[in-house]
Amino acid sequence: MEIYFGTKEENNARRQEEFLKLHPAERVMAFIRLSQAMAAFPTHAPKQDKGNFVLTKKKS
């Protein structure tokens, strides 16, 4: 792991450039991994049952 020191603009430009170097399929997987990682963070919003249709996968 490398640590970069720079301004916010420089770091954002570097991260965007690194992301755009990925193949499209790798970009999708990176987005999915990021989404899953963000879901693990706690939230202050209370959980609500919005009546949405939810599909669940049975564990075998």
Q: What is the pLDDT of residue 43?
A: 80
23-to-13, 19, 28 alpha-carbon distances in Å: 18, 9, 9
Report pLDDT for 48.
81
**Is the alpha carbon torsion for 46, 49, 54, 59 positive or negative?**
positive
Q: Alpha-carbon distance 2 to 8, whole Å?
A: 17
| Model pLDDT, residue 24 | 94
Tens-binned pLDDT, residue by residue, of the chain (60 aa): 788 899 999 999 999 999 999 999 999 999 999 888 988 888 887 878 888 888 888 887
pLDDT at site 21: 94
Q: Where are the domains of the chain?
A: 8-39
